[in-house]
Structure 1
Amino acid sequence: MIPQFTIFHIIILIIISPISPPQAYAQLEDVIIAQNGCNSTCGEISIPFPFGMNEPHCYAHKWFEIECKSNTPYLKSLNLEVTDFNDYYSGLVQIMNPIYRSNCRHNKTSSNDNKTVTINLRDSPFVYSQGENTFLAVGCNNLAFLQSNGTKIGGCVSICDDENNNNFDVGSDGCNGRYCCKTSLPSHLSEFNATLEVLREDSSNGCSYALIASDYWISLDNSYMDYLEVETLNELKNMEYAPALLEWEILNDMLINSTFQLPSDPICYDSNVTSLSNRTTGRQCRCSLGYTGNPYVSGGCTEIPGFFDKNNRSKKWAIVGVSSSLGSIGLLIGLWFLHKDMKKRMIKKRKEKFFKRNGGLLLKQRMSSGEVNVDRTALFTLKDLKKATENFNKNRVLGKGGQGTVYKGMLVDGKIVAVKKFKVEGKVEEFINEFVVLSQINNRNVVKLLGCCLETEIPLLVYEFIPNGNLFEYLHDQNEDIPMTWDMRLRIATEIAGALFYLHSIASQPIYHRDVKSTNILLDEKYRAKLADFGTSRIISIEATHLTTVVQGTFGYLDPEYFHTSQFTEKSDVYSFGVVLAELLTGKKPIFSVGSGEFQNLASYFIQCIEDNMLFDIIDKRVIKEGEKEHITAVANLAYRCLELNGRKRPTMKEVTLELEGIRVLNKKLNVQQNHEEIELAGIEEYQHWDGFSASNSLPFVDSQTYSTDSEVMHIIALK
């Protein structure tokens, strides 16, 4: 952190000195960089104090001790190779950082495949420089994550549109998501490792890399990564380490608990290089105006030749006189404009950083390539969404979930939207996944994604607004003004079954939802069902039969087979849908109270009641009153099959959808017939109790012969 006055000093120096700074430094001889009597070189690298070798008085603290191995300097306490100490006053040291790789078994560095080493700088005076480094990932169809302390704090996606998995020809595209992606580092990063995950199961990946590296090393012309060196990327297969820059400071503890003291002649100031809370943690030093050298050594600051001669003094006084004549008002106005401009630049830079960190370059690329439908997906500005949600007012909250909070908003054109703000800073996995999945779905019973905002530290997704809440609330907190009728329950079940059938079998690539539950089924203005929340969903290859993952899901809906095997199949979604069917039939929650503080699992209770011939003891009274027993029994039997413990015995979502569509067709015909009879036979009792009914006597399957015609049903399915 540089004091503001030193910037002014540097400007004055450039104006008045007849010798440019580099030339002036070239004229300096015998600059003192190390303590008296200490060796200051290892190989060809000069080692400035507070770094040093051999004797304890040659370095300020053990953290700064250098070990010279085969003419190569290493930070001894961290065992990191040092390649450059930069300028004495920069507070930077360049080290060789490990490259993480995956699927590289045939390369020279195969022993380092899936490297698990963690770089830990905690309690040291070093952190990774946020401004000088970049997190970089190279490879095909990968999700690369930067992790710290076991938490994902950043990441990016790299894709390939060909089979070239070994030579990464990024060309003039830069590192913007094709073959290669990048993201900025968080501040005060002191511990990290990296992981590489497959973006799609059917993709051809080849060797992939992830690393933190210096911007200068990976830039072609010091243009801060606008273009990458193709040779550098292709050489990664032969490298184990890449240059990265660490910032450092003299920690306060070092000044208290050691004999080392900072010299009195240079300018030293408080710093917070290693602080997460912006409190002062150490000191940094610079030589006074007109001097250069190593400010951490007594006598290390040497006068710049020609700076203090008579001509320069007259120039300096002339500048001071002119500046004084401008007056304090002019100075204040200038400072005000400078402050406004700096603030605007900082906000713009911050937005650009977040945009890159949240995968914005990749999303823009996909939009321009046509992979994402531009007509359906847009990039919103933070300003627009803040205005739409009244700066994310808590009164605008629609709901909170495991991934984040959803707000209601109104855009400038009057359109009502739902804005999802992801919960955990830096965890963009769910955001990227949900965007990728929803951008490939076009189904009227799936919530529509309108766009996203990437200018914030936490990415935002924008959806169509669904006004009537979710099925769980509507089913378990029923409103008598708009009751949950049998017809409505049957229609909602059919619509969600059709949506899952679409995801499993009709989408360009199969999609497993992985979190089917009544809270993720929303109801629009006409109470049509919309499947939502695709943060944990996965796109898989057509040939794949399952997805092996860490077990995720909601208790009560979770497939027991998946829980025991960690293998998620399309039948796992079927099981969860079976629980939703049981909810619709019984009106009970997936985990419900049975009194005395005990709770019962609906799925197991539902199965037990059917097997004990007690089906209609648990069916919701309204369903019994309004539905035909054959139709209710058929739906119950379908739910029973969906809840089979053996996934292979469960029906597919196509079979489930066909059966529900068939039952709906019959129910509609029956309703028409009953309405006609009511007109003709007014006053005849329309309902009889079903005392003594046994589920074992009649649990019929509804097959295609019960439909009006096969073609009619298939036409209904095709419309989904």
Structure 2
Amino acid sequence: MPIRLIMLVVLVLLLLLAMGCRCSTSGARTTAAAHAQAKPDCPNRCGDVEISYPFGTRPGCFLNEEFLITCNDTHFKPPKPFLTKSSIEVVNISIDGHLNVLQYTAKDCYNAKGYSVDSNLPSITLSKFTVSNTENRFVVIGCDSYAYVRGYLGENRYRAGCMSLCDSFDFVTNGSCIGTGCCQIEIPRGLKGLEVEASSFNNHENVSSFNPCTYAFVVDESQFHFTPSYLAVGGIPEKFPVVLDWEITTIEICEEAKICGLNASCDKPKDNTTTSSGYHCKCNKGYEGNPYLSDGCHDVNECEDPSLNNCTHICDNIPGSYTCRCRKGFRGDGRKDGGGCTRNQYTVIKVALGVGISFVVAIMSISWLHFLWTRRRHMKLKEKFFEQNGGSILQQELSKLQGRSSEKAKIFTEEEIKTVTNNYADMIGCGGSGLVYKGFLSNKTPVAVKKSKIVDQTKMDEFINELVVVSQINRRNVVRLLGCCLETQVPLLVYEFVGNGTLFEQIHKKGNLSCERRLRIAAETAGVLSYLHSEINVPIIHRDVKSANILLDENYTPKVSDFGASKLVPTDATQNCTVVQGTLGYVDPEYLQTFMLTDKSDVYSFGVVLLELLTGKMALLSDKPEEERSLAMNFLCSLKHNRLLEILDHRIVNDGNKQQLKVVAELAARCISVRGEERPTMKEVALELQGRLSLMSNGQYYLRDNVESNGAQETDYFTSTFYECRDGIGSHTTPTGGYDSMQQLKLMAFDDGR
């Protein structure tokens, strides 16, 4: 965890401890409205409608006959509730004094000839309940229409009407009910009973095409929105919702009747008139539930809802209310609308001092713990990488070399590598396999630090092998391995710094090597391979000889590098390999066929490098057809047809050294023979090249005995021994016949990415 994040968390915790938090000592809160509003042991639902007391569906469950609900489950699935006294369908019961019911729509319809085809006169009879004047409106719909609503106000009969006219459907406006297509009026207070009559002035003769009917109904205004589609036949619902008002009526005084339950009180309507002599029950302040049940009102826990209390610190719930108080160290009434809470001066100083000291101690402790944790984690990680990268094995192998090598490779620590490379500041190489950084040892010796881009644990044995092999070599023409670092995720190798690039770059990119310099590079490289094959206790086969693995210093002295694929092979022994390693174009075809690794495999690869020096061409010729891409095949074919000078690099050919180059070409041809037994040893190659180099340095360009006179014959001898050209395409031939090295290269050779 980052130190800044830890500090922030600690600071927040300390501030919370210092300031305290708002808390409550009350018990569990009761829901705003009890789910069961019916009397105990009574049905509380009929279909989708909740039945709340004083309403009920069976004896003992309702207050009186006015509140009896019939639950009809015979004709309706699910069941539907009806107000028994009036046979009106009930859709909702509210204990605040409202009853939502459905009432039929009155209609008066005519055909195109003006004859009545359909009419009705819906009505409801109410003994105690009234039609709500605040929730409902009387509505008439039509373009040749008027209608009446009738009822009783006390003992007096009431009648009111409304008319709606329009000559065209275009005059009707959606949502507008002001007399054009739709008319509405208010309902008087206390209306008992309801009868609606719909009529027409001219039997809809002039508007029958779009409005053949008059419709009239009383409706809950919150549930009605006029649309012109209502003017058409069948465009209007059969029933509309209506809101009724109900109340408790008794000859006794409200409080004496004891209709209201515990923690509830009588509520006389503020707008009571002679048409209403009843009352409602309501829960007292601080309580909620059904006030008509004996224990229906329950205490509200105001402390659990910040919007219900005004406390600043601590809220304590009490029956029907709450109290506020301040936390320890504060004083005041603890109310937002009062004096609130203020901290005692002494407490402020003490808390501030305590918070400051605690904060400093916490930060110091966490910083120290974080430092120790990070350091320990880093050490564990370095130990893990050291073992993962074969550190223990390498130490054991290097210890075996005591006395066998003048200088052993050093195992560097991660901190030492960062110091050497100035924290990886100078990157001098970036390839597909990794990065190379330049650095300086403490004695100012320049070094190259090689860092692979990826970790391949399957090749860790090759990595350890390269270290062990190179540690045994102390030769001027071998890149000196100074040490390695195994404490990083990717192992790092520290080599001597060779700053003039690779032989591959000099041949194929710069191309400024003279003939003598090329011969010198070939001779010294051959000398290194000869040393590896025959002059150390346990011979070493490089297995990946190529121009890219030969580095050049500022004096163009070659230095062989990359021993990751090398093998230690006892004298006069061969190595049987399950996996062929090497680079396409340089791999020994006999090694590809038999999987038997010998020192002659390096001879073949060196022969290809020698061809690169002679021709200036790459081992695989990308500009040739696929079957002609092998430089070795093209060279041998040119040699057989006496076209050697055509394939040689014109930059090194002159009249004085043509014969010398032919001799070197003959040597290269023998090196790339398909059969390993026909190839010379690296010692023989090194001696031959050193002799050629001496002659060239002394200005003597003669050939061996009879070479000039019999050159064509000897060339034919060599090529006929191991090579044949067919139709201009070269292919190797073995005594067993028919072995096509190009096809084998396609199937078996691969580039290991070095």
Structure 1 length as normaliser, TM-score? 0.47
Question: Which of structures 1 and 2 has the larger relative contact order (alpha carbons within 8 angstroms, sep 6+)?
Answer: 1
TM-score (structure 2 length as normaliser) = 0.45
| Bigger CA radius of gyration | 2
